[in-house]
């Protein structure tokens, strides 16, 4: 499934279940650190991002992706590649 | 200066929280082993229901005698790798015995099961290849993938349709594709739906590795694992296994029929750059493989014991890890503190099981995980059930 919504909005929507404390999300938010998501949780979340945008984000790339802004750039690049 | 230990503070804090409950659930000491299923822990005779000693083979007379003989005749250690120092005749004998047991042309043994996955995955896949791994894979698979330098794609647990989708996304890309599955998954005890995954080989060209760590010696008419049980051994290009479960020693293996398989010996860093298994370890492993081949009734006993424990737990109304009956039997618990408290109460009542907590578990589950042995008596299984009834079900 792809979406016309801005990528950052979609990512924030997908992060909502991982953000029970309702921390304000922005491009600068460090996903694992600020939302306290463990390594497996991050990988599970990335699978949801992959399926939402119908792209592939290899685990090797996830290791270098920390903030929401980093992830937006990865998604943009992967959509262009697809 | 940044203290290198700063990054480990969350782990230290979590451990401290566990200790505040008065429990070191990850650091128990077996002071004396009484049998494959009993030990002295904290001064109490304890039933061991979390040791992965599936065949109950660790005190087999033939294996102990073989180990003693090897120790006397070949010494305490090999003092180097097989590449640098050469092999002992026994290493090659074990590889022949295993290849025959597995009905494979080639077999390579490793010093630990962890290294078997590290070696096989990093030997097979390189930086231009892609490895597709199940989300619930064991850490040794994740680490082998990382060591390989390959592109790593994770698919949803036991979901062949999800793998199909991910294989389709990279259709046409250069490089080989390796799909890695496990026979029995170590936390919940469920099997890979092998037939569904094998079906995908027709559509997407890939090679398949099945890690039979928990299923080798356990599943299939010949005890060779899930691929044997499913009648799909020809489709499993490579198998990996460990000696620390059904074989009751330490080490691991990789096996296959590929004509270039032996080349892996010169391409797998975890094989090349570590000391080979000690003579006593190899000798006990050879004896255990022969026992597995000679005594298929152990598998029947294991199956009966697994069904007894599984049904006992289900009758208590527990939420089970999965609906497959295997020697890995997990009970889902509410949260981390209650799981730790129940684990401690079980130990105090003379039953040792494993505690499994996130992130080491799928879907952030908190589990009390049992592993069944062919050597458990009915009375021991019933004692485990009765203790769970009291401690976990509150009856």
How do residues B368-378 score in pLDDT, each as one tens digit?
A: 999 999 999 99
> Of B37, B54, B96, nearest to B217 (Cα)?
B54
Mind listing the pLDDT tens digit for each residue in B343-390? 999 999 999 999 999 988 998 999 999 999 999 999 999 999 999 999
Contact A59 B170 (CB under 8 A): no
- B154 near A CB under 8 A: yes
Residues B282 and B321 reside in one and the same domain: no
Counting the structural domains of chain A, the total is: 1
Q: Of B258, B274, B294, which one is at a domain's C-terminal end?
A: B294
- A43 near B CB under 8 A: yes
Give the per-residue pLDDT at B39.
Answer: 98
Question: Is the pLDDT reported for residue A73 higher than 80?
Answer: yes
Residue B90's CATH number: 3.40.640.10
Distances (CA, A) of B107 to B59, B121, B176: 26, 15, 22
Instruction: Calculate the average pLDDT of chain B.
Output: 96
For chain A, how long is the longest CA-to-CA vector? 35
Q: Of B262, B279, B294, which one is at a domain's C-terminal end?
A: B294
Question: Is the pLDDT reported for residue B88 higher than 60?
Answer: yes
Instruction: Answer yes or no: is B56 within a domain.
Output: no
Mind listing the pLDDT tens digit for each residue in B52-61? 999 999 999 9
Residues B285 and B315 reside in one and the same domain: no
- DSSP 3-state of A51: helix
Q: ∠ CA B359-B361-B367 to the nearest 5 degrees?
A: 120
- A39 near B CB under 8 A: yes
- The rounded Cα B2 to chain-centroid distance in angstroms is 37
Residues B168 and B279 reside in one and the same domain: yes
**Which residues in B lie closer than 8 A to residue A51 (C-beta atoms)?**
165
* Residues contacting residue B370 through CB under 8 Å, at least 6 positions apart: B49, B50, B309, B328, B329, B330, B331, B353, B354, B384
Give the per-residue pLDDT at B76.
Answer: 97
Question: Is the pLDDT reported for residue B114 higher than 70?
Answer: yes
Give the per-residue pLDDT at A1.
Answer: 47
Residue A13's CATH number: 1.10.1200.10
Residues B281 and B343 reside in one and the same domain: no
Q: Range of B269's domain?
A: 61-294
Instruction: Answer yes or no: is B54 within a domain.
Output: no
Q: Range of A27's domain?
A: 7-81
Question: Is the pLDDT reported for residue B66 higher than 60?
Answer: yes
| CA–CA gap between residue B111 and residue A62 (Å, rounded) | 31
- B204 near A CB under 8 A: no
What value does the mean pLDDT take over residues A19-26? 92
Contact A47 B154 (CB under 8 A): yes
Residue B305's CATH number: 3.90.1150.10
Give the per-residue pLDDT at A3.
Answer: 53
| CA–CA gap between residue B15 and residue B11 (Å, rounded) | 6
B90 compared with B172, residue with greater pLDDT: B90
In total, chain B counts a number of residues equal to: 395
Instruction: Answer yes or no: is B55 within a domain.
Output: no
| CA–CA gap between residue B54 and residue B299 (Å, rounded) | 9
Instruction: Answer yes or no: is B1 within a domain.
Output: no
- B135 near A CB under 8 A: yes
Residues B24 and B119 reside in one and the same domain: no
Measured in angstroms, the CA of B146 and the nearest CA of chain A are apart by: 8
Residues B117 and B233 reside in one and the same domain: yes
Bridge pairing between strands B207-211 and B252-256: unpaired
Give the per-residue pLDDT at A2.
Answer: 52
* Residues contacting residue B179 through CB under 8 Å, at least 6 positions apart: B131, B132, B133, B163, B197, B200, B206, B207, B208, B209
Contact A38 B359 (CB under 8 A): yes
Residues B205 and B137 reside in one and the same domain: yes
Residues B196 and B240 reside in one and the same domain: yes
- A54 near B CB under 8 A: yes
| CA–CA gap between residue B44 and residue A82 (Å, rounded) | 62
Residues B300 and B152 reside in one and the same domain: no
Residues B221 and B118 reside in one and the same domain: yes
> Any idea which of A40-44, B233-237, B250-254 has the lowest mean pLDDT?
A40-44
> Any idea which of B146-160, B218-232, B270-284, B352-366 has the lowest mean pLDDT?
B352-366
Q: Of B294, B314, B349, which one is at a domain's C-terminal end?
A: B294
Measured in angstroms, the CA of A19 and the nearest CA of chain B are apart by: 15
Instruction: Answer yes or no: is A2 within a domain.
Output: no
Contact A40 B358 (CB under 8 A): yes
Question: Is the pLDDT reported for residue B314 higher than 90?
Answer: yes
B374 compared with A82, residue with greater pLDDT: B374
> How many Cα atoms sit within 13 Å of B80 on the Cβ side?
7
> Of B94, B59, B92, B106, nearest to B286 (Cα)?
B94
Give the per-residue pLDDT at A4.
Answer: 55
In total, chain A counts a number of residues equal to: 82
Question: Is the pLDDT reported for residue A51 higher than 50?
Answer: yes
Counting the structural domains of chain B, the total is: 2
Instruction: Answer yes or no: is A1 within a domain.
Output: no
Partner residues linked to B364 by β-bridges: none
- B169 near A CB under 8 A: yes
Chain A, residues 2-31, CB within 8 A of chain B, namely none
């Amino acid at each position: 499934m792809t979406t016309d919504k801005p990528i950052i909005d979609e990512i924030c929507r997908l992060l909502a279940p991982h953000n029970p404390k309702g921390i304000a999300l922005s491009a600068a938010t460090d996903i694992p650190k600020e939302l306290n998501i463990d390594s497996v949780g991050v990988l599970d979340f990335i699978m949801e991002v992959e399926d939402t945008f119908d792209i592939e984000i290899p685990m090797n790339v996830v290791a270098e992706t920390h903030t929401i802004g980093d992830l937006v750039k990865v998604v943009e690049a992967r959509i262009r590649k697809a | 200066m940044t203290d290198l230990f700063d990054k480990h503070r969350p782990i230290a804090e979590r451990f401290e929280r566990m200790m505040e409950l008065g429990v070191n659930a990850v650091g128990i000491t077996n002071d004396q082993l009484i049998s494959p299923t009993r030990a002295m822990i904290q001064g109490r005779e304890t039933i061991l229901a979390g040791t992965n000693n599936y065949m109950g083979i660790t005190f087999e007379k033939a294996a102990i005698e073989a180990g003693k003989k090897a120790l006397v005749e070949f010494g305490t250690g090999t003092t180097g790798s097989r590449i640098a120092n050469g092999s002992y005749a026994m290493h090659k004998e074990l590889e022949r015995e295993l290849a025959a047991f597995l009905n494979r042309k080639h077999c390579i043994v490793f010093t630990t099961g962890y290294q078997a996955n590290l070696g096989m995955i990093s030997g097979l896949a390189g930086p231009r290849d892609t490895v597709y791994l199940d989300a619930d894979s064991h850490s040794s698979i994740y680490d082998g993938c990382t060591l390989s330098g390959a592109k790593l794609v994770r698919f949803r647990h036991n979901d062949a349709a999800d793998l199909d989708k991910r294989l389709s996304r990279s259709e046409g890309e250069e490089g080989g594709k390796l799909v890695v599955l496990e026979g029995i998954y170590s936390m919940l005890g469920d099997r890979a739906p092998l037939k569904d995954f094998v079906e995908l080989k027709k559509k997407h060209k890939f090679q398949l590795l099945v890690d039979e760590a928990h299923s080798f010696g356990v599943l299939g008419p010949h005890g060779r694992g899930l691929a044997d049980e499913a009648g799909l051994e020809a489709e499993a290009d490579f198998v990996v296994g460990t000696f620390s479960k059904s074989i009751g020693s330490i080490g691991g293996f990789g096996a296959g029929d590929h004509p270039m398989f032996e080349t892996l010996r010169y391409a797998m860093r975890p094989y090349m750059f570590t000391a080979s298994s000690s003579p006593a370890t190899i000798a006990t492993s050879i004896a255990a493989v022969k026992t597995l081949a000679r005594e298929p009734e152990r598998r029947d006993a294991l199956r009966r014991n697994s069904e007894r424990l599984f049904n006992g737990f289900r009758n208590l109304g527990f939420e089970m890890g999965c609906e497959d009956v295997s020697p890995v039997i997990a009970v889902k618990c509410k949260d981390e503190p209650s799981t730790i408290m129940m684990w401690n109460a079980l130990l105090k009542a003379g039953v040792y099981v494993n505690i499994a907590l996130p992130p080491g578990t799928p879907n952030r589950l908190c589990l009390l995980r049992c592993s069944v042995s062919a050597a458990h008596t009915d009375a021991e299984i019933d004692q485990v059930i009765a203790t769970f009834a009291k401690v976990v079900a509150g009856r």
